[in-house]
Amino acid sequence: MNPRSTHGTILVTALLAAPIALGQLHAQIAPPQSVFGYKSFDREQSVEEKFLAVPDASLAGEELKTLTAAPHMAATPEDHETAEYVAQKFRAAGLETEIVPYRVLLNWPKAVKVEAWDDSGKQLMSGPSREHVEGDPYDNDPRVVMPFNSSSGSGDVTAEVVYANYGRLEDFNKLEAQHIDLHGKIVICRYGANFRGVKVYLAEQRGAIGVLIYSDPQDDGYYKGDPWPIGPWRPETGVQRGSVQYLFKYSGDPETPGVASTLDLPDSSRVSPNGNQPHIISIPISYHDAAPILQALKGPGAPQGWQGALPFRYHLGPGGVRVHLVSDQDYERRIIWDVIGKVKGADYPDDWVVVGNHRDAWVYGAVDPNSGTASMLEAVHGVGALLRKGWHPKRTIVFCSWDAEEEGLIGSTEWVEQHMAQLNNAVAYFNVDVAVAGPDFSAAAVPSLKQFVRELTRQVPSPASGSVYQQWRLEHPESEEHRASDAPPIDEGEVHVGDLGSGSDFTPFLQHAGVPSTDIGSEGPYGVYHSAFDDYAWFTENADPHFEYLQEMARVLGLEAVRMANTDVLPYDYVAYAHAISAYIESVKKKAGGNGLNSLDFAPAEAAVARLATAAQHAHDLQTAATGDLDGLNRTLRSVETALLSDEGLPNRPWYKHTIYAPGEYTGYAAVVIPGVSEAVEAKNAPLAAQQLQVLTQALDHAAQVLESAK
């Protein structure tokens, strides 16, 4: 999964130039005068040049083709084959490699059925229809799993239907305002605007007994452009599979929150999976199957903004149509396989730089996730070349190929839970999921690493000309298109780097373990997300015919690791972090006023963040000077992110420990900033907001105290 790829993306006309040779790279890109975190950059400059010369476009293309040769859903034999393939590539590059299994609860579909009748008893449809278009060379493989929702309940229900638009909180509130009761009903809603698990969560809370989630052509089909195989958008039978896990409660194996589900974990240590699983059934369908249901639906006409692109007037229901749903899910504890490859650090072997991408796919997964895997393998190829020349990073680099991300970030979460103590020393986690869906680079990060990402993209050539950074700026002059949070803009004049919500494997690292994280991708028109059509043919036709963006992403991802592993002083920008938090507090304070919570006292939190800003400036001076006890300074700098965790976690979701970032309970993908306070203010719960302000103030004071001790 990947949050940034599921929204409508901006169409960018790329100037597809020939792949850039490294000689040209030198001509176009001047070496940096100095780099934050390095006393002198000369030596590192030559290491980075050697690294950048290695990732290879055509090899990345071959790797992508191999990885996507067969459907490879988590825990299948084909998934295991991809684990072996990645392990072999890691070993060939000289990484100390192991395949790490976990035993986790997964559901596979035994039977899924959707039928509908009109009031006269005439059958309108019987599905789900098989995904198929004339001209796709892959979609007839019998191993393509039938569309289903991971974490769905099992059941057999028949009921009237209500249309809930995107299934957002405001959509359900609107239905309630119109006195449309959802008890005993089946909700039909469209994909987009939030995480699909949130749609099911809200429907379940309101008494619905089943949910159908379909892809409206307005959001990623013919309304956007030509559907596959003519263009990149979703064809009539295309379905978005996906997890409906209540990810905003906790990610990972539903039976082991906070505990690693290693093979030897006794069953007595597993808990009920109810903590992050829906109790009702939900089924994803195509607009081919949704259209007859929506067209027959009676009741009030769809309000402003609810009409999709199907060629008839939408109505809310109920009435006009009855639907029968069957979801028979085979829940079993199954084995999944992470692949972990290490390069031991020469100076600080216990300080890890972790790089990760998931490998499992709903079907072929050319874009999601194996464009990321191919990029990571070429980054590993580059690191391997450095190792053969006798290079040793100062810190340990750990490359991770996660399994079962699609079902709920499971492989990464279990690994994080197993290594909590060691991860206190991990200096960064660099994620890539959808590496390449098109030419449009984007990034999200904790504020302390936003400048780090911008800075290094200046050194990587873009296939379109100039550097990745230059293209990124060119495409985002206003820089607000990809904002994932409701926070006000704070980095004026700079290209926008988003905030980390959820929807990919950085979640356990940042929000559970407090490891500073980034997430990168290169986007484009992409309408086949989580369908059988996200295959090698679609990729070479639409995303990256010459694999030069795979090469670009390999370079960016690898450079993140190489540069971070060798810094003299950890290049965290806490001045920017304090600035960001201060803006978040002001924004929530304003909202509290608007919500009638005027008596809330924000002064202590404001004082704490001001203290943090002062301490950050003090630390920044030390970081720039880079003299004296750098080991001690680095330890102090690293502890700041951990200080922003609270032991008790967020209200009703203790697994989420970060006081500044969490996936929103009602958004799922998008970040909610200072979530404890924000969500209490949103809910107009004054006592809870006051208590959460205290928790935030404590965390900020703690972080400031840590930074003040820097010397």
Q: Which residues are catalytically annotated?
A: 405
Q: Which of 139, 253, 351, 368 binds Zn ion (CB under 5 A)?
A: 368
Report, in Å, the least distance between residue 360 CB and Zn ion: 9
Q: Should residue 433 be labelled a site residue for Zn ion when binding is judged by CB under 5 A? A: yes
Report, in Å, the least distance between residue 362 CB and Zn ion: 9
The secondary structure element, H or E, covering residue 343 is strand 321-343
Give the span between the Cα atoms of 118 and 321, in whole angstroms: 4
E strands, 437-539, are 440-445, 517-523
AA letter at 485: S
Q: Should residue 523 be labelled a site residue for Zn ion when binding is judged by CB under 5 A? A: no
**x/- map, 321-360, Zn ion, by CB under 5 A:** ----------------------------------------
The tokens of 297 are what?
């639906």
What backbone phi and psi angles, to 5 degrees, belong to 650?
Answer: -80, 155
Give the span between the Cα atoms of 705 and 711, in whole angstroms: 12
From the list 7-15, 278-286, 361-369, 462-470, the region that binds Zn ion by CB under 5 A is 361-369
**Which residue, 435 or 588, is less far from Zn ion as judged by CB?**
435
What are the start-end ranges of the H helices in 93-178? 169-177
**Which residue, 76 or 634, is less far from Zn ion as judged by CB?**
76
**Which residue, 136 or 433, is less far from Zn ion as judged by CB?**
433
Q: Should residue 1 be labelled a site residue for Zn ion when binding is judged by CB under 5 A? A: yes
Give the span between the Cα atoms of 496 and 502, in whole angstroms: 18
Give the span between the Cα atoms of 703 and 542, in whole angstroms: 46
Q: Which residues pair with 542 in a beta bridge?
A: none
Report, in Å, the least distance between residue 59 CB and Zn ion: 22
Query: Under 8 Å CB-to-CB from 268, ≥6 apart: which residues?
Result: none
Report, in Å, the least distance between residue 118 CB and Zn ion: 39
Query: Under 8 Å CB-to-CB from 384, ≥6 apart: which residues?
Result: 92, 93, 94, 95
The tokens of 158 are what?
């028949």
Of 639, 601, 102, residue with least CA distance to 360: 102
**Which residue, 210 or 369, is less far from Zn ion as judged by CB?**
369
Q: Are 36 and 637 in contact (CB under 8 A)?
A: no
Report, in Å, the least distance between residue 405 CB and Zn ion: 6
From the list 362-370, 481-489, 551-559, 651-659, the region that binds Zn ion by CB under 5 A is 362-370
**Which residue, 220 or 433, is less far from Zn ion as judged by CB?**
433
Report, in Å, the least distance between residue 368 CB and Zn ion: 4
Q: Tell me the three state secondary structure of residue 574.
A: helix
**Which residue, 217 or 369, is less far from Zn ion as judged by CB?**
369
Report, in Å, the least distance between residue 503 CB and Zn ion: 8
Q: Should residue 552 be labelled a site residue for Zn ion when binding is judged by CB under 5 A? A: no
Report, in Å, the least distance between residue 131 CB and Zn ion: 18
Give the span between the Cα atoms of 646 and 353, in whole angstroms: 23
From the list 1-9, 311-319, 646-654, 679-687, the region that binds Zn ion by CB under 5 A is 1-9
DSSP track, 522-565: EE-----TTSTT-SHHHIIIII-TTSHHHHHHHHHHHHHHHHHH
From the list 251-259, 364-372, 384-392, 547-555, the region that binds Zn ion by CB under 5 A is 364-372
Q: Should residue 407 be labelled a site residue for Zn ion when binding is judged by CB under 5 A? A: no
Report, in Å, the least distance between residue 449 CB and Zn ion: 21
Residue 426: how many other CB atoms lie within 10 Å: 25
AA letter at 637: L
**Which residue, 247 or 706, is less far from Zn ion as judged by CB?**
247
Give the span between the Cα atoms of 54 and 51, in whole angstroms: 6
AA letter at 481: E
**Which residue, 2 or 566, is less far from Zn ion as judged by CB?**
2
Instruction: Give the 3-state secondary structure of 231-296.
Output: CCECCCCCCCCEECCCCCCCCCCCCCCCCCCCCCCCHHHCCCHHHHCCCCEEEEECHHHHHHHHHH
Report, in Å, the least distance between residue 14 CB and Zn ion: 23
Of 540, 574, 590, 576, residue with least CA distance to 371: 540
Report, in Å, the least distance between residue 443 CB and Zn ion: 16
Q: Which of 221, 369, 524, 668 binds Zn ion (CB under 5 A)?
A: 369
Count of alpha carbons within 13 Å of 700, Cβ hemisphere only? 29
CA 628 to chain centre: 39
From the list 45-53, 426-434, 451-459, 564-572, the region that binds Zn ion by CB under 5 A is 426-434
In 230-251, which positions are buried (b, 16+ CB within 10 angstroms) versus exposed (e)?
Answer: eebbbbbbbbbbbbbbbbbbbb
Q: Are 247 and 664 in contact (CB under 8 A)?
A: no
Give the span between the Cα atoms of 653 and 676, in whole angstroms: 10
**Which residue, 487 or 543, is less far from Zn ion as judged by CB?**
543
Report, in Å, the least distance between residue 525 CB and Zn ion: 18
Q: Are 540 and 368 in contact (CB under 8 A)?
A: no
What backbone phi and psi angles, to 5 degrees, belong to 273?
Answer: -75, 0
**Residues near Zn ion, by CB under 5 A:** 1-2, 368-369, 433
